[in-house]
Amino acid sequence: MQVLSVASEVFPLIKTGGLADVAGALPGALAPLGIRMRTLMPGYPAVMAKLGETRRVGGFDSLFGHPASVLEASHAGLDLLILDAPALFDRAGGPYLDRDGLDYPDNFRRFAGLSLAAAEIAAGLIDGWVPDLVHVHDWQAALTPLYMRYDRAPQTPSVFTIHNIAFQGRYGAQVFPELALPPQAFAIDGVEFYGDVSFMKAGLAASTAITTVSPSYAQEILTPEFGMGFEGVLSARVDALSGIVNGIDTDIWNPATDAQIVRPYDPTGLAERARNKAALRTRFGLVESDGPLFCVISRLTLQKGMDVLAEEIATLVSGGGQLAVLGSGDPALEAAFRTAAAASPGQVGLVLGYDEPLSHLMQAGADAILIPSRFEPCGLTQLYGLRYGCVPVVARTGGLADTVIDANEAALAAGVATGLQFSPVSRDGLRLALRRVFSLWRQPPLWESLQRQGMASDVSWDRSARAYAALYSRLLTKG
Ligand code: ADP
């Protein structure tokens, strides 16, 4: 089976969030199941710089007014198709934002370009290779199924995966004439959404199947609280919607072999984690302590509940806990964490920024990872936490609810608990969760059973890859 995957970020070439991890890991997980996945992504400067040899396999005299090429390349085991369109992607900032942190004003054109190129590939742009199925990720690739519907591979099945329905690619109707779509596409079964253009809407309307990254989130987005305006559209397509939890790359995230940590360990040698904890304390300027060391590795945003956490840091510290925060995001939240760190020197440490190696050391050295998200389509950091014996303390929502087994009495008695869930995401909710953590921390055998159970959880891609493969097969036999 030949599948074209389309994503705006792919690890290890470029990453701003979980989407990149998924797009980077899925091809490798599907290969043993007989599926060849080629991944189309934009040729941002950071990506072009990492590529070795490339070969031009297709091109456009004019892709939204400028020449563009499709280059074949391989990197880190990935079979890549790079959309080399300098007018769209050769920019000094990040993939979506300029150097001042503002959206590029022509993002609609940049990602329409990515989507149109994908549809042309589905229609045979590349000599000798046509995908049987197209799998597109998030709003940046979501116009693809709509372009396919109109004359470009209308029979080829497509899957649209929502990694976060909060990011929708919504623009004023005035951009529509620039999208190279036929007039009838500006309609309820196309790209039109409350009089605007919405890329997300196009993906939901035109794809053969819709997936999101956990069964709970698939249910939640059918409701006004989580659907962000799309609950109606989704309800109309509920038969096409399913949830498949993400896995993680268990080679990159393996505490027994991880070169980014000070002391490798496995479930039989949990005491070895102490060396990582010591290194982590040094890195964050924390003093020796008997209490649990919590970590946060996150975008600092309201979605992630970071405002609630910032307000409860005093509770965490007064209970004997310490906190190490790695993240960046809203300036107001960055300031709140800076203030909290200054107020509790030696107990609260902060690294503002993005640091992949440090995130490994944190999972290997911290006792618990806090994830108080208001919504969480899947979440990856709790999966890394499980794998590293860093007990996840999570909001009961989306993929967090689906992947962490709460340490309630029944689960503890059955020996299956892997972490703590709490609800609601409020100061009271978090305070109660912290109280439960401290109580479990004072019972080392119970705490260690959480760690060991977590480390025994299957967080690999195997199960998810089988679910995607089964979905692809269903769509192909239906076609
Ligand atoms: P989201 O995609 O909503 O940001 P996920 O939990 O799905 O959240 O994925 C976040 C990914 O980004 C994880 O791999 C996490 O380890 C990583 N990450 C987030 N913030 C940082 C940071 N400041 N430094 C290093 N890695 C980070």
When mean pLDDT is compared across 16-30, 134-148, 202-216, the lowest value belongs to 16-30
Task: Name the residue among 29, 454, 406, 417 with its Cα closest to residue 248.
Answer: 29
Residues 21 and 63 in one domain: yes
Is residue 261 domain-resident? no
Q: DSSP label at 253?
A: S
Residues 446 and 471 in one domain: no
Q: Which 3 state secondary structure label does DSSP give 252?
A: coil
Q: DSSP label at 97?
A: B
Is residue 355 in contact with ligand 1, taking CB distance under 6 Å? yes
- Between helix 356-365 and helix 273-284 the angle, nearest 10°, is 130
Is residue 262 domain-resident? no
Is residue 18 in contact with ligand 1, taking CB distance under 6 Å? yes
Is residue 277 domain-resident? yes
The residue whose CB lies within 8 Å of the most ligand 1 atoms, and thus the one to mutate among 22, 248, 249, 297, is 297
pLDDT value, residue 265: 98
pTM greater than 0.75 (yes/no): yes
Half-sphere CA count of 92, side-chain side, radius 13 A: 3
Task: Name the residue among 82, 207, 76, 41 with its Cα closest to residue 135.
Answer: 207
Residues 452 and 466 in one domain: no
Q: Where are the beta strands (DSSP E) in 377-474?
A: 391-395, 420-422
Is residue 323 in contact with ligand 1, taking CB distance under 6 Å? no
Is residue 214 in contact with ligand 1, taking CB distance under 6 Å? no
d(CA 411, CA 381): 22
Residues 180 and 60 in one domain: yes
Contacts of 249 (CB under 8 A, 6+ apart): 21, 24, 25, 28, 461
What is the CATH number for 374? 3.40.50.2000
d(CA 159, CA 138): 11
Distance 19 CA to ligand 1 centre (A): 10
In the predicted structure, residue 159 carries a pLDDT above the cut 80: yes
Print the domain residue range for 199: 2-247+462-478
Percent of the chain with pLDDT over 70: 100
Is residue 138 domain-resident? yes
pLDDT digits (tens, 9 = 90+) for 317-348: 999 999 999 999 999 999 999 999 999 999 99
Read off the pLDDT band of 73 (50, 70, 90).
Answer: very high
Residues 369 and 233 in one domain: no
pLDDT digits (tens, 9 = 90+) for 45-60: 999 999 999 999 999 9
Residues 54 and 170 in one domain: yes
Q: Which atom of ligand 1 is nearest to the CA of 378?
A: 7
Beta bridge partners of 40: 6, 81
Q: DSSP label at 4?
A: E
Q: Tally the residues of the chain.
A: 479
Residues 275 and 349 in one domain: yes
Percent of the chain with pLDDT over 90: 98
Residues 14 and 30 in one domain: yes
pLDDT value, residue 478: 77
- Measured between its terminal Cα atoms, the distance across the chain in Å is 14
Is residue 297 in contact with ligand 1, taking CB distance under 6 Å? yes
Asked whether the beta carbons of 386 and 418 are under 8 A apart, the reply is: yes
Residues 405 and 389 in one domain: yes
Is residue 350 in contact with ligand 1, taking CB distance under 6 Å? no
**Average pLDDT, stretch 292-313?**
97
d(CA 383, CA 245): 11
Structural Rg of the chain based on CA atoms: 23
Residues 157 and 113 in one domain: yes
Is residue 260 domain-resident? no
Residues 131 and 243 in one domain: yes
Residues 330 and 436 in one domain: yes
Residue nearest to atom 20 of ligand 1 (CA): 298
d(CA 315, CA 313): 5
Q: Estimate to the nearest angstrom the gap between the alpha carbon of 456 and the chain centroid.
A: 23
pLDDT value, residue 391: 98
In the predicted structure, residue 479 carries a pLDDT above the cut 70: no
DSSP assignment of 334-391: HHHHHHHHHHSTTTEEEEES--HHHHHHHHHH-SEEEE--S--SS-SHHHHHHHHT-E
Is residue 91 domain-resident? yes
Structure tokens at 400: 């967090």
pLDDT value, residue 52: 93
Structural domain total, the chain = 2
Is residue 16 domain-resident? yes
Residue nearest to atom 26 of ligand 1 (CA): 356
Is residue 252 domain-resident? no
